[in-house]
Structure 1
Amino acid sequence: MTTITDALDFIAAHETPWPRDLRAHLDSGFFDPPPDNTPVGPVHPRGPVNAIITRKGEVLGTTGNTKQVDQTFSVAKSYLSMLTGIAVGDGLIADIDRPVRELVQDGGFESPQNATITWRHLLTNTSEWEGELFGKSDLIDRGRTLSREGSGPKRSTRQLQPPGSYWEYNDVRVNRLSLSLLRVFRRPLPEVWAERVMNPIGASTTWKWEGYDTAWVEVDGKRMQSVPGGTHWGGGVSISAEDQLRVVQMAANGGVWEGKRILPEGWVKDSITPCALNPHYGYLYWLNTGRTKWPAASEGAFSFSGAGGATCWVEPAEDLVCVFRWLDPQHLNEAMRLVREAVA
């Protein structure tokens, strides 16, 4: 009979092959060859593997130091999705199917290629935004294939398609969403995130959301730093598994924390609805449509996911919410199987 201890022991025994020195890893060209690999934001050494498994809000078990604060890479994309929902709920974005340029006039959406891009396009990675942002061109991730990370040059020569007609995982375009949200809130996003999410859910004060050295802009005469939706070129969200658990638990509860609504009603439901071009993707959330991404999880499972082994997994079938830090992604599906078997 499989136990939670068995699942945790498996996770502890299958740490990511990434080195602890993340700066050296990025410099090595894992994501991009030189000169595109150059970090422009802070990069911190990572700690060992750790994990938390909860069911119905109760901790079933942990392994490692779950207070350890590490950079969490693209889990931050899902945080941008939540911030977009807050902007919608506040009336700052009236309709996610309207062109972004109607609210953001900073030159980023004026070209023929970019003029029709909507907020939905940015949320679903279907924008096909073209340009350079903070010293990084969309060409760096154009042609990116997640299954072959670390395989060498990307910079595909493929012709761009109309916005909304092509799905591509492109960090520059996600960062364009982040800057657009900064323009709409007219405040640094880490301030909004703290005020509207982290403080209400009782998170610690150990987390931080860092921007690129190159990502300073002026808003209402004030100098503000835009933050990225990941750590591809440094920066991004550094956070503990315990604080991540609170965020994902709130999402699993439909955007509510201990009776207090954090995200607009229906926003999480919309976020976990597959986009038209990728059944495994919603509003910057990963989905398990057809059980073809994680066969061991249920059809309704979803996650916030980051490179190197950062997974915040919601399993509605068993009311499970789990955070795995630095678990080798090659062993994620087996970890999910063991956890589900343990609670069956």
Structure 2
Amino acid sequence: MSTDTVPPRAGEPWPSASPEEAGFDAGRLAEAMRLMQSLETPWPLDLQAKLEAGFFEPPPQNELIGPVSPRGGANAILLRGGRRVASFGDTRRVDMTFSVAKSYLALLAGIAKADGLFGSVDDPIRETVDDGGFEGRNAGITWRHLLQQTSEWEGTLFGKPDTIDRNRVLGIDNTGRPPRDTTRELGAPGSFWEYNDVRVNRLGLSLLRLFKRPLPEVFAERIMAPIGASQDWRWEGYRNSEVEVDGRMMRSVPGGGHWGGGVFIHAEDQARIALLAARDGIWGDLRLLPEGWMAASLEPCALNPNYGFLWWLNTGRIRTPAASEQAFFALGTGGNVSLVEPADDIVLVLRWVDPARLDDVVSAVRGALAR
């Protein structure tokens, strides 16, 4: 099966294949799609009520400072070889995507590196970003540290202190660790892995300082337009996230919807982005990400081998046993998944499908392949 197929520009028919042409057993694939449809997330349609009820933090730390919209129903799109094989639901419904946006920040970091805006991922950020955020104990923080969530950055950004997410250790053994939000003594940069939205937002602000342009503009120009995405998506900041850059006020955008804001997008555009990642940053005859960036992004973090540069990995097939060890994911809370399965040249985008059943979904899809 060719791995060169990419979708055309927005509004034109997506190259498609029947299940049989794509190497699936049609009956088993239909069963897999029905399974997905039956597994809608338990999250309510009213996402604002969910967040205001303290899903992430109790009041007052959970104050929303960005826009929130109700979610739609479960939907999904499956690609193989870049061709559309199956889908269900409204795959053009624009919805919040939460932490899937973190992986999009990693793509922008790759573009910044390609543009020479920083040298090495192991360079201290203070060498190119001089805004007071990387002084004192933060002076040794590198791009790698922020991209791998090991920075131990200390501070408050847009009214949210990093302590909100202290000891938030998703995806690794939490045995013996104190509860989340418990104050702990910070270590040196690179000494502790912690899933921390405030620090991811510090990365977003740092990239804004480098590009000297709002990140949604850069993302639209360097990623979304070349891959033929729609103009339906948006990347929202916070009401208090405007900063001055070279005498102009620009809004910094977050890597999630933790406190509102973030990327609002539909499954079809997400499938294009995931396919770009699957193709090593190449789209047709265009190289959009620097050579080697995706490989670096998918190297396991020493402190959490199931995490790369803001992409979730499947090292040891621990996160999703039904997927291959080479599989990687952009994951957003509530059941938002962009899965790349290199072993089978599959891209699967799930919206509002119960994340607790992801392994069952992957098992059903891979089990439908006619081997």
Instruction: Answer whether TM exceeds 0.5 for this pair.
Output: yes
Query: TM-score, normalised on structure 1?
Result: 0.97
1:47 aligns with 2:72: yes
Aligned to 2:164: 140
CA-to-aligned-CA distance 1:264-289 (integer Å, 9 cap, x gap): 01100111110111110000000000
Alignment of 1:49-198 (within 5 A): 49-111=74-136, 113-146=137-170, 154-198=180-224
How is 1:303-318 mapped onto 2 (pairs within 5 angstroms)? Answer: 303-318=329-344
Structure-to-structure mapping, 1:180-259, within 5 angstroms = 180-259=206-285
Whole-angstrom CA distance in 2 between matches of 1:210 and 1:343? 39
Residue deviations 1:275-323 (CA, integer Å, cap 9, x gap): 1111100000000000011000001000111010110001111110110
Q: Which amino acid aligns with 1:278?
A: N
Q: Is the 8 A contact 1:52 1:241 kept in 2?
A: yes
Corresponding residue of 2:363: 337
The aligned amino acid for 2:51 is: L
C-alpha displacement of 1:238: 0.3
Q: Per the alignment, in what secondary structure is the counterpart of residue 54 of structure 1?
A: strand
> What is the one-letter code of the residue matched to 1:116?
G
1:266 equivalenced with 2:292 (yes/no): yes
1:19 maps to which residue?
44
| Number of matched pairs | 340
Look up the SS of the partner of 2:138 in the other structure: coil
**Kept in 2: contact 1:210–1:235 (CA 8 A):** yes
Question: What is the match of residue 308 of structure 2?
Answer: 282
Q: Is the 8 A contact 2:170 2:194 kept in 1?
A: no
2:19 matched to which residue of 1?
none
Contact residue 271 and residue 349 of structure 2 kept, 8 A: yes
**Structure 2: any 5+ residue segments left out of the alignment?**
1-24, 173-178
Shift of 1:84: 0.4
Q: SS at 1:218's partner residue?
A: strand
CA distance in 1, matches of 2:170, 2:55: 12
Whole-angstrom CA distance in 1 between matches of 2:142 and 2:169: 24
Give the superposition deviation at 1:57.
1.0
Within-5 A mapping of 1:295-310: 295-310=321-336
Which shifted more, 156-165 or 76-85?
A: 156-165
Query: Shift of the alpha carbon at 1:87?
Result: 0.4
CA distance in 2, matches of 1:162, 1:269: 26
CA shift, 1:124, in A, is 0.2
How far 1:145 moved relative to its partner?
A: 3.8
Task: Indicate whether 1:292 and 2:328 are aligned.
Answer: no
Q: Which residue of 1 aligns with 2:34?
A: 9
Cα deviation 1:52-103 (Å, max 9, x = unaligned)? 0111011111010000100100000000000000000010111111110111
Q: 1:104 to 1:129 in 2, by over 3 A?
A: same
The aligned counterpart of 1:33 is 58
- What is the distance in 1 between the residues matched to 2:314 and 2:127? 34
1:275 partner amino acid = C
- List 4+ stretches of structure 1 deviating above 4 A: none
SS in structure 1 of the partner of residue 331 of structure 2: strand
2:38 maps to amino acid:
A
Verify the 8 A CA contact 1:4 1:60 in the aligned structure 2. Answer: no
Superposed displacement of residue 192, structure 1: 0.2
CA distance in 2, matches of 1:92, 1:223: 20
SS of 1:224's partner is strand
Distance 1:264 1:199 in 2: 17
AA of the residue aligned to 2:193: W
> Share of identical aligned residues, percent?
60
Deviation at 1:184, TM superposition (A): 0.4
Question: How much does 1:147 deviate?
Answer: 6.7
Contact conserved, 1:42 with 1:235, CA < 8 A, in 2? yes
Q: Within 1, Cα distance between the matches of 2:302 and 2:285?
A: 33
With over 3 angstroms needed to count, the CA separation of the structure-2 counterparts of 1:246 and 1:228, relative to structure 1, is same
The question of whether the paired residues in 1 share the 8 Å contact of 2:237 and 2:262 is answered with yes
Q: Which runs of 5+ in 1 are unaligned?
A: none
Mapped to 2, the partners of 1:204 and 1:220 lie a distance apart of: 31
CA-atom RMSD in angstroms: 1.4
Residue 317 of structure 1: SS of its match in structure 2? helix
Q: Sort the Cα spacing of 1:235 and 1:146 in 2 relative to 1 into closer, same or farther, 3 A.
A: same
- Please give the alpha-carbon distance, in whole angstroms, between the structure 1 residues aligned to 2:100 and 2:70: 18
| 1:194 counterpart letter in structure 2 | A
